[in-house]
């Protein structure tokens, strides 16, 4: 979830700076996991080198190899590779061939590890590239990312502990399993699974954008001829990531996240102090940016951008921020980070501590203004076809010593590897638990599940690499744009259902399907960036430019309420709820993790699985422990009660 000049906020006629009517195209998750930077490309295509550029990286190769920066980048990558393979022996599992171990790191990460894991998961290389690129191109619009990341963690603080508790009590590995357990609906489970996988694939591919921008600037991709030669560094990098992820699972990105986040913090602190001093101070930097943004774009006759968001753009800005905040933790890789935590309190502590990354994000966004103040960066962006995604690597190259520019480039590249690994693991968990085991091999053993998940994670990486290398960047970003719109539509099934089961399962399915169709169709019919379709993530609604995902969510909720009333009146069966009110407050007894089937004489009592309608258990009730369930203690009275239709 993208970028506009000042005139992009006008309600009557919005332009992408190319002189064509457009709406405000903003990436679904700007500042965190992803940024569909089409508007930046749009701004650049007609703005004399001020946007992302509608051109592909291919054909924009820098011919000179920066040997110092490349050497440091190569050494950093080698160190990370060794850490990735060694991580298989870090916190060794009793049974490594169990999906709880491979896919969730044994569900044993404490506050410190979880903080780095979630930070590495949510703040990616594309964030490092695209947020300042947007600020570079159009100014204030780029700080939408800051608003969004400020709002997201209070939301997470409220609902994520409940989701973690019910997943731990019931042995759920994916949010789709919660949907099935809450409503007894395989349809809702498939809806969450399909949405999660579709939204994740282009997300992984876009991590390559950050890597490719760095390689382009330091000249690596320009040192070989032919398709294989120029893409070989990317292929090697993803092959190595696939290798240690296959071996170590979630432990690999969790351990590498320490290096990744350390490099990012070091780079940001040094750059935000050193570069402004070298450029003449912040007064000069903001003055230069303001002077450029006020200039008239010859293609449109309007300013390039502004240092503040104009009133006409406030509604789009607000809906983008709110919608993105609600959507972020619907992504499979975000919930994987949550489920991997050791205790409920870890989630709350991290929700309180993760805003430290938001502070860093604000400083990263300022890199856009720093880059605008360096004439050599402006010239490099213009020479590359107006590709503003090169602005940050070019900034490092032209203002920092070669050796530290290599460290900064390593931070960006490693920043792509951690989230890519987590995303592929999360997608593999979804497929294995909710498609393979649910429909293809219900009797699959834990070892078989793990083998399948490992293979699927490889397929996800290969598919993402194919997206990046074979398909045009426009197509990949269009898919990410749709992914951001789609992923928000599972919010009622996951978050709202943590607090109530009032909705009918068929009504939720209808609401989800209608919102998916509406969101896809609305994005398809929205022009912009020189494209007739998929040109923006916002569209006019009742006279206001609004984020399409938010509009689709409103339609989703309205239909879910209406059809619930209809189905209740028709007395249609609404499935069973296998969860209990106490499940939503469950917390494991420290050190009492018990893999399924491991209980022996004197073992603590386990949580029964209650796969029958609300009410007392009947004959033949399925009371086995779900795979991966942990022992837990109750925080409230009511042990053994089953949730009713309106249960929590």
218-266 tens-digit pLDDT: 887 644 445 555 678 788 888 898 999 999 999 999 999 999 999 999 9
- What CATH number did the domain enclosing 246 receive? 1.20.1730
**Predicted pLDDT of residue 71:** 93
Three-state DSSP at 368 gives helix
pLDDT band at 349 (very low <50, low <70, confident <90, very high): very high
**Is 514 within the bounds of a domain?**
no
pLDDT of 269 = 95
Segment 577-584 shows an average pLDDT of 95
Task: Provide the pLDDT confidence category of residue 589 given band limits of 50, 70 and 90.
Answer: low
Give the pLDDT of residue 471: 61
Q: State the pLDDT at residue 647.
A: 37
pLDDT of residue 228: 52
Which among 267, 439, 240 is positioned nearest to 364, based on CA atoms?
267
The arithmetic mean of pLDDT across residues 507-521, rounded, is 96
Percent of the chain with pLDDT over 70: 77
Sign of CA dihedral 62, 63, 69, 70: positive
DSSP label at 26? Answer: -
Q: Residue 638 above 80 pLDDT?
A: no
Report pLDDT digits (tens) over 127-143. 788 889 889 988 887 78
In DSSP terms, which residues pair with 538 in a beta bridge?
A: 547
Average pLDDT (375-380) is 92
Residue 172 forms part of a structural domain: yes
Measured between alpha carbons, how far is 103 from 598 in angstroms, rounded to an integer?
19
The secondary structure of the chain in percent helix, strand, coil, rounded to multiples of 5, reads 65, 5, 30
Rounded to the nearest 5°, which phi and psi values hold at 436?
A: -65, -55
Q: Band the pLDDT of 26: cuts 50, 70, 90.
A: very low
Report residue 310's pLDDT band, with 50, 70 and 90 as the boundaries: confident
Say which residue the tokens 């508790």 belong to: 165
**According to the model, what pLDDT value does residue 530 have?**
64
Distance from first CA to last CA of the chain, Å, rounded? Answer: 32
pLDDT of res. 475: 57
Q: Where are the alpha helices (DSSP H) in 280-401?
A: 282-294, 314-328, 332-339, 344-353, 355-372, 375-383, 391-399
* Any domain includes 577: no
Whole-number Cα distances in Å, 296 to 48, 137, 286, 383, 596: 11, 13, 18, 21, 66
DSSP string, 432-444: IIIIIIIII-TT-
**582 domain-assigned:** no
Percent over 90 (pLDDT), the chain? 49
- Residue 274 forms part of a structural domain: yes
Instruction: For the chain, give the mean pLDDT.
Output: 79
CA distance 565 to 503: 9
**Per-residue DSSP letter, 220:** G
Q: Which domain holds residue 43?
A: 6-501
31: pLDDT confidence band, cut at 50, 70 and 90? very low
The verdict on residue 105 lying in a domain is yes
Asked whether the predicted pLDDT for residue 34 surpasses 80, the reply is: no
Structurally, the chain folds into a number of domains equal to 1
255 occurs within a structural domain: yes
Distance CA 491, CA 547 (A): 16
* Average pLDDT of span 374-391: 87
Whole-model pTM?
0.81
221 in any annotated domain: yes
Tell me which DSSP letter residue 107 carries.
Answer: G
Produce one character per residue of 522-546: b if its CB has 16 or more CB atoms within 10 Å, e if not. Answer: bbeebbbbbbeebbbbbbebeeebb
pLDDT for 456 beyond 70: yes
pLDDT tens-digit map of 39-58: 333 333 333 333 443 333 33
pLDDT digits (tens, 9 = 90+) for 522-559: 988 888 666 777 877 888 888 888 999 999 999 999 99
What is the pLDDT confidence band of residue 477, given thresholds at 50, 70 and 90?
low
Helix ranges restricted to H, 491-576 = 491-494, 505-524, 548-570
């Amino acid at each position: 979830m993208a970028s506009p000049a000042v005139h992009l906020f006008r309600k009557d006629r919005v332009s992408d700076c190319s002189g064509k009517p457009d709406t405000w195209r903003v990436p679904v998750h700007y500042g965190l996991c992803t940024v569909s930077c089409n508007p930046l490309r749009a701004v650049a295509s007609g703005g004399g080198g001020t946007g992302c550029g509608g051109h592909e990286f291919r054909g924009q190769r820098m011919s000179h190899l920066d040997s110092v920066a490349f050497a440091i980048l190569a050494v950093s990558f080698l160190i990370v590779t060794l850490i990735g393979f060694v991580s298989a022996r870090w916190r060794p599992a009793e049974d490594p061939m169990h999906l709880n171990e491979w896919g969730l790191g044994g569900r044993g990460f404490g506050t410190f590890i979880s903080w780095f894991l979630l930070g590495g998961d949510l703040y990616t290389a594309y964030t490092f590239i695209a947020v300042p690129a947007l600020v570079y191109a159009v100014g204030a619009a780029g700080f939408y990312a800051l608003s969004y990341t400020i709002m997201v963690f209070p939301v997470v603080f409220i609902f994520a502990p409940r989701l973690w508790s019910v997943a731990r009590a019931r042995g759920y590995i994916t949010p789709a399993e919660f949907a099935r357990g809450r409503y007894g609906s395989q349809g809702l489970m498939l809806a969450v699974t399909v949405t999660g996988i579709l939204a994740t694939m282009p997300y992984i591919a876009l991590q390559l954008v950050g890597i490719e921008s760095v390689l382009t600037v330091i000249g690596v991709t320009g040192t070989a001829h032919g398709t294989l030669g120029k893409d070989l560094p990317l292929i090697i990098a993803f092959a190595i990531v696939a290798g240690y992820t296959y071996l170590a699972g979630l432990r690999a990105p969790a351990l590498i996240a320490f290096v990744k986040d350390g490099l990012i913090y070091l780079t940001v602190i040094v750059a935000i102090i050193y570069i402004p001093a070298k450029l003449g101070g912040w007064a000069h930097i903001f003055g230069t940016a303001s002077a450029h943004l006020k200039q008239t774009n010859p293609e449109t006759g309007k300013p390039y951008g502004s240092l503040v968001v104009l009133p006409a753009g406030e509604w789009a800005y607000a809906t983008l921020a709110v919608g993105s905040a609600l959507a972020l933790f619907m992504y499979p890789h975000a919930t994987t980070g949550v489920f991997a935590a050791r205790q409920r309190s870890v989630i709350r502590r991290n929700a309180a501590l993760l805003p430290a990354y938001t502070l860093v994000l604000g400083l990263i966004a300022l890199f856009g203004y720093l880059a605008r103040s360096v004439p050599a960066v402006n010239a490099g962006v213009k020479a590359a076809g107006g590709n503003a995604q090169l602005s940050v690597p070019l900034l490092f190259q032209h203002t920092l010593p070669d050796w530290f520019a290599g460290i900064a480039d390593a931070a960006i590249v490693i920043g792509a590897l951690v989230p890519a690994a987590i995303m592929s693991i999360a997608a593999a968990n979804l497929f294995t638990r909710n498609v393979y085991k649910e429909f293809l091999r219900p009797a699959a053993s834990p070892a078989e599940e793990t083998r399948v998940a490992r293979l699927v994670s490889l397929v996800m990486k290969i598919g993402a690499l194919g997206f990046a290398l074979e398909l045009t960047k426009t197509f990949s970003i269009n898919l990410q744009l749709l992914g951001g719109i789609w992923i928000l539509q599972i919010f009622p099934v996951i978050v709202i259902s943590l607090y109530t089961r009032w909705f009918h399962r068929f009504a939720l399915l209808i609401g989800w399907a209608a919102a998916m169709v509406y969101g896809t169709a609305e994005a398809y019919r929205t022009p912009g960036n020189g494209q007739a379709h998929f040109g923006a993530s916002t569209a006019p609604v009742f006279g206001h430019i609004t984020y399409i995902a938010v509009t689709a969510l409103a339609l989703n909720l309205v239909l879910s309420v209406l059809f619930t009333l209809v189905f209740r009146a028709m007395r249609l069966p609404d499935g069973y709820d296998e969860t209990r009110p106490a499940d939503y407050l469950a917390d494991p007894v420290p050190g009492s993790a018990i893999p399924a089937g491991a209980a022996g004489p004197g073992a603590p009592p386990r949580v029964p699985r209650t796969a029958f309608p609300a009410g007392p258990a009947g004959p033949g009730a399925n009371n086995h422990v779900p795979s991966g369930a942990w022992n837990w203690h109750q925080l409230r009275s009511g042990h053994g009660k089953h949730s009713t239709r309106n249960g929590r």
